[in-house]
């Protein structure tokens, strides 16, 4: 099968399309998926660049796993004998490693049936970013009706889901993004918008129960004065330089305010929940651009720019 691979760390140009061995379903709880679409995430380019924390997981001098991708949407072609939720021919979406390829073999519990009202491309945009936003707001922050929530990086992959989910949970939402995206995040449901190129929200005197930094560009201390007495700051990018483990530990000593670092834990329950919201038209994935697999370099260049509106998705056609 064809896959986008990298055998050395470096810039987007280290990515190339190669023929590799097709995965099998040796384990009984796995399925074989013919990949139709797979999104490109910030984690993909951090692994490709060889940022130090990722090297601890994927090899210090060269990548152990050469195929990137953590989101998938496609059609099931085979199932293990212990798979009960899916059958051959089902359209599914979910989380798995190595999805920038023609086939993957994830576990059953990392998948859900595709929402009936979306394309493969739209379905592939949901899993990582959608679950990240959902778990941060529902589980970590435990957002409640009437709370004030600020989303920093509201127009990005995680951010645009977070705006919609915070509204779904009944919060008053302030979205921080660039000038060109202000009207768009209002359409997503934001009550208030702040243009970060013209104003630092931390200087306006407003207080928030939850500040979600969806792009890893702020620190807990820079947001401290904007939190309510029991407010919580959440960062979604543990791998970014502005994330400091020490500051998160010390934060527990600063009054009753909290700082949390969060990474999504993929699971079928949350995928089912997101699917229901999409089908009820209470949540929608937004795609800025789709690239064919053959343009993997361009896709990486785009996502690494840090100016993505919504999601970047690969479309994968059989060679």
Q: Domain extents for the chain?
A: 2-126+285-315, 129-261
User: CA angle at residue 291 from 124 to 7, to 5 degrees?
Assistant: 90
Contacts of 59 (CB under 8 A, 6+ apart): none
CATH code of the domain made up of 2-126+285-315? 3.90.180.10
Q: Per residue of the chain (319 residues), give pLDDT as tens.
A: 999 999 999 999 999 999 999 998 988 899 999 999 999 999 999 999 998 888 988 999 999 999 999 999 999 999 999 999 999 999 999 999 999 999 999 999 999 999 999 999 999 999 999 999 999 999 999 999 999 999 999 999 999 999 999 999 999 999 999 999 999 999 999 999 999 999 999 999 999 999 999 988 888 888 889 999 889 999 876 544 444 454 555 454 455 568 777 778 999 999 999 999 999 999 999 999 999 999 999 999 999 988 889 999 999 987 6
Residue 238 confidence (pLDDT): 54
Residue 241 confidence (pLDDT): 42
Using an 8 Å Cβ cutoff, are 271 and 131 in contact? yes
Q: 16 pairs with which residues across the strands?
A: 5
Whole-number Cα distances in Å, 61 to 12, 48, 50, 57, 153: 17, 12, 9, 11, 32
Burial class (CB in 10 A: 0-12, 13-18, 19+), 256: exposed
The first and second tokens of residue 106, run together, are 């994830």
Pick the CATH number of 129-261 from 3.30.470.20, 3.40.50.720, 1.10.579.10, 3.10.310.30: 3.40.50.720
pTM listed for this prediction: 0.92
């Amino acid at each position: 099968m064809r896959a986008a691979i990298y055998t050395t760390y470096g810039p987007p140009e280290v990515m190339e399309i190669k023929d590799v061995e097709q995965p099998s379903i040796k384990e009984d709880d796995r399925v074989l998926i013919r990949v139709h679409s797979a999104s490109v995430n910030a984690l993909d380019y951090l692994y490709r660049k060889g940022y130090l924390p990722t090297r601890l997981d994927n090899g210090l001098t060269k990548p152990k796993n050469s195929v990137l991708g953590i989101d998938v949407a496609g059609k099931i072609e085979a199932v293990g004998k212990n798979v009960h939720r899916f059958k051959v021919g089902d359209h599914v979406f979910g989380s798995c490693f190595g999805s920038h390829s023609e086939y993957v073999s994830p576990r059953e519990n990392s998948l859900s049936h595709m929402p009936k009202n979306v394309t493969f491309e739209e379905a592939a945009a949901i899993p990582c970013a959608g679950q990240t936003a959902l778990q941060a707001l529902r589980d970590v922050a435990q957002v409640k009706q009437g709370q004030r929530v600020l989303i920093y990086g509201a127009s990005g992959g995680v951010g645009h889901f977070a705006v919609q989910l915070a509204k779904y949970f009944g919060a008053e939402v302030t979205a921080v993004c660039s000038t060109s995206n202000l009207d768009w995040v209002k359409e997503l449901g934001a009550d208030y918008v702040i243009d970060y190129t013209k104003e630092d929200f931390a200087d306006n005197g407003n207080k928030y129960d939850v500040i979600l930094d969806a792009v890893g560009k702020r620190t807990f201390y820079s947001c401290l004065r904007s939190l309510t007495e029991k407010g919580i700051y959440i960062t979604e990018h543990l791998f970014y330089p502005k994330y400091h483990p020490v500051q998160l530990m010390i934060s527990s000593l600063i009054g009753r305010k909290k700082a949390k670092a969060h990474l999504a834990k993929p699971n079928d329950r949350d995928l089912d929940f997101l699917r229901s919201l999409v089908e009820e038209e209470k949540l929608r994935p937004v795609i800025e651009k789709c690239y064919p697999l053959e343009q993997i370099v361009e896709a990486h260049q785009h996502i690494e720019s840090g100016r993505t509106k919504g999601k970047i998705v690969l479309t994968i056609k059989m060679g």
